[in-house]
């Protein structure tokens, strides 16, 4: 009898996880459509639901990290910086657990920190720099890495580190010179551009 009850319970748990996984996928799809249309209020609500469903479905560190990353970006766009930083930090920790790309949340943390001033941003860019030095990443995304280095250079210059800024500009120029046919350009998250979607003043 106990074995039958346990089997039934396991079946119920599995069914609940499957339902949450399906619901999570639907919420994420709605979030992507909303973000594409610039409906950031809906996007943040839908990503919040998608992340909750992923957690209830025990989707794993990689999936939770990916959704935390997307949710964090939308929160930052809508000026909820404190919660956005929490989500991006969570994404970073989950990436480390799952072996995912750490440079993605690190870059977003650096970009968002620019809103707080160069000193805070420099801290994250320094964490990001070893990933920018990765030859494989530079080979895959030479234009994007060059653009990030130029942005890093601007932050360093604003913080008073002109030597560091020059070094980043030199590396960016070298990447661009080595990849003259690359049409890739970095597209940066527009943090703070939709404060009205959360009722927060910019």
Are residue 111 and residue 55 in the same domain, yes or no?
no
What's the pLDDT at 151?
A: 96
What's the pLDDT at 1?
A: 54
**201 part of a folded domain:** no
Are residue 20 and residue 78 in the same domain, yes or no?
yes
**3 part of a folded domain:** no
Contact 188, 111 (CB under 8 A): yes
CATH of the domain at 168: 1.25.40
**1 part of a folded domain:** no
Number of domains within the chain = 2
Are residue 130 and residue 176 in the same domain, yes or no?
yes
The answer on pLDDT for 7 being more than 90 is no
Are residue 94 and residue 110 in the same domain, yes or no?
no
pTM of the model: 0.87
101-154 pLDDT, tens digit each:
999 999 999 999 999 999 999 999 999 999 999 999 999 999 999 999 999 999
Alpha-carbon distance of 127 to 129, in angstroms, equals 6
CATH of the domain at 53: 1.25.40.10
32-65 pLDDT, tens digit each:
999 999 999 999 999 999 999 999 999 999 999 9
Contact 106, 131 (CB under 8 A): yes
Number of CB atoms found within 10 A of residue 176's CB: 17
| Mean pLDDT computed over 14-19 | 76
Are residue 30 and residue 19 in the same domain, yes or no?
yes
Residue 94 belongs to domain spanning: 14-100
What's the pLDDT at 201?
A: 46
Tokens 């339902």: give the residue. Answer: 19
Alpha-carbon distance of 164 to 56, in angstroms, equals 45
């Amino acid at each position: 009898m106990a074995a039958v009850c346990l089997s039934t319970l396991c079946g119920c748990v599995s069914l609940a996880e499957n339902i949450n996984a399906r619901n999570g996928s639907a919420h994420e799809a709605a979030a992507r459509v909303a973000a594409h249309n610039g409906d950031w209020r809906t996007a943040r609500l839908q990503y919040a639901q998608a992340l909750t469903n992923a957690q209830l479905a025990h989707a794993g560190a990689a999936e939770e990290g990916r959704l935390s990353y997307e949710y964090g970006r939308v929160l930052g766009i809508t000026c909820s910086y404190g919660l956005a930083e929490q989500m991006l930090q969570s994404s970073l920790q989950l990436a480390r657990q799952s072996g995912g790309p750490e440079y993605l949340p690190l870059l977003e943390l650096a970009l968002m920190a620019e809103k707080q001033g160069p000193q805070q941003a420099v801290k994250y860019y320094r964490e990001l720099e070893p990933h920018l030095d990765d030859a494989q990443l530079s080979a895959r995304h030479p234009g994007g890495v060059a653009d990030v280095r130029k942005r890093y250079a601007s932050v360093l210059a604003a913080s008073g580190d002109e030597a560091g800024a020059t070094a980043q500009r030199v590396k960016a120029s070298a990447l661009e010179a080595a990849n003259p046919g690359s049409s890739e350009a970095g597209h940066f998250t527009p943090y703070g551009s939709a404060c009205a979607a959360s009722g927060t003043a910019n």
